Structure 1
Amino acid sequence: MHDTNGKATGGLSEALAQARQNWGWLVALGVALLVAGGFAVAQAVLFTMASMIMIGALMIVGALTHIIAAFRGQGWKHFLLWLAGGTLYLVAGLATIANPLLASSFLTLLIGASLLASGIVRIWMGIKARPDRGWGWLLGGGIVTLLLGLVIATGWPVNSLWLIGLFLGIELVMQGWSYIALGIALRARA
């Protein structure tokens, strides 16, 4: 949208102006995320178990949604599919809450396998792109991903106690630093 002088109104410029005015809240959010992330890294086992219980609870909510959709739908064909999906979600959610250690073990193995597969694909893509510029970055990224997958896979199942909590903590720390940096950058432009 533009006003009568041709200046942009609303949209991105307005959002940036509001963000500049509230830069302190972004810094405060960043500090809170940084503290939570530090706690999660320090208490990785606790955060792994808590995240598994949260995932189980969300699966149960998804299950109830599917089951309600089954009874609100039209026709037996869709009813049975929605009911079966909801039942599977319910069983998986209850199993996750009942045994978060087993759930974290399964999820850790899945993460390790995914990183191994992704690393192999990236290495292959880097080799295939060899004459083009930047192929080394793709190859290097694939090697790092493959090595990370190998580290996770060789440490499994013991690392499933703390790995997910550690990943969550690192994510929170990185988000915290990024909000702090964004808030400071917005303050400098205010």
Structure 2
Amino acid sequence: MSFVYLQKRIEENWGKILFVGFFYMAMGIAATTFAGVATFASVAFLGFVVVAAGIAEVVFAFQTRKEGRFWYHLFFGALAILCGVFVAVSPVPNALILTLAASIFLIGHGLVQTVQSAWIRYPYWGWSFTEGVIELVLGGAIIYSWPFSSFWTIGLFVGTGLLLYGAQLVSLAAMGRRAEKIRLAAAQAKKPPTTLRKPSSREDRGRDQDQDIQHFF
């Protein structure tokens, strides 16, 4: 897909993109406002996704049973279904585990990023260093207030992601709208002006008709 084609599609559908962007932003605001509900809903949804993936794996195992590795796909498909059901049925303990894992990941990633940026000192390393420090502080705050942080952490992450993605779509729609205005203005500037002169009197109309007849013959 070329950049010109993509830009044209954005110009044609900027209104739809704007609507979807505002929808994502509204969902993000709702998720961050009700972070507890969003946390358990996200965990339950993750469980249903894992169940769907396990069912697909089992179906794939039966479809390709003549090609070998039938028991391999069947085993992992059944395991995914069991894990997905466990996650969907018990979102509270799984939210505790996922929150603890997320805090450990933030601390580890932030530590690596701060040390790497301070050691290499590549261009604009200060931004990367600051991001790493924020991840360290956030991960430390989450693990310090654990397990109480499990009731809002995942929902806050999901809501922030939806809000940022919606803002990105809104800016993309605004860019498409500006490009459409520029294209229409350029097309209007290239169009030759058409002026229609209305004859002021009957004599002028008759003279114009005589000139048209002479020009014709």
Q: TM-score, normalised by structure 1?
A: 0.84
DSSP-derived class of the 1:65 partner: helix
How many residues align structurally?
A: 179
Partner of 1:121: 112
TM-superposition CA deviations, 1:46-102 (whole Å, max 9, x none): 1111111111111111111222333333477x2332222122212211111111111
DSSP-derived class of the 1:174 partner: helix
Of 89, 92, 99, the residue aligned with 2:90 is: 99
In structure 1, list runs of 5 or more residues that go unmatched: 1-9
Of 41, 61, 66, the residue aligned with 2:52 is: 61
Structure 2 CA distance, aligned partners of 1:98 and 1:123?
A: 39
Q: Is 2:68 aligned against 1:73?
A: no
TM-superposition CA deviations, 1:104-126 (whole Å, max 9, x none): 11111111111111112112212
Q: Is 2:158 aligned against 1:160?
A: no
Q: Is 2:196 aligned against 1:188?
A: no
Of 61, 75, 89, the residue aligned with 1:84 is: 75
Percent identity, please.
Answer: 26
The structure-2 alpha-carbon separation of the partners of 1:73 and 1:15, relative to structure 1 and needing over 3 Å to count, comes to same
Amino acid at match of 2:165: Q
Larger radius of gyration: 2
DSSP-derived class of the 1:156 partner: coil
TM-superposition CA deviations, 1:18-73 (whole Å, max 9, x none): 21122122211111111111111111111111111111111111111222333333
Does the 8 A contact of 1:34 with 1:173 survive in 2? yes
Q: Is 2:38 aligned against 1:47?
A: yes
Q: Is 2:23 aligned against 1:32?
A: yes
Q: Comparing 118-127 with 164-173, which one deviates more in the overlay?
A: 118-127
The structure-2 alpha-carbon separation of the partners of 1:43 and 1:121, relative to structure 1 and needing over 3 Å to count, comes to same
The structure-2 alpha-carbon separation of the partners of 1:173 and 1:138, relative to structure 1 and needing over 3 Å to count, comes to closer
Does the 8 A contact of 1:125 with 1:138 survive in 2? no
Partner of 2:12: 21
Written as runs of structure 1 = structure 2, the 5 A alignment for 1:136-155 is: 136-155=126-145
Structure 1 CA distance, aligned partners of 2:171 and 2:103?
A: 31
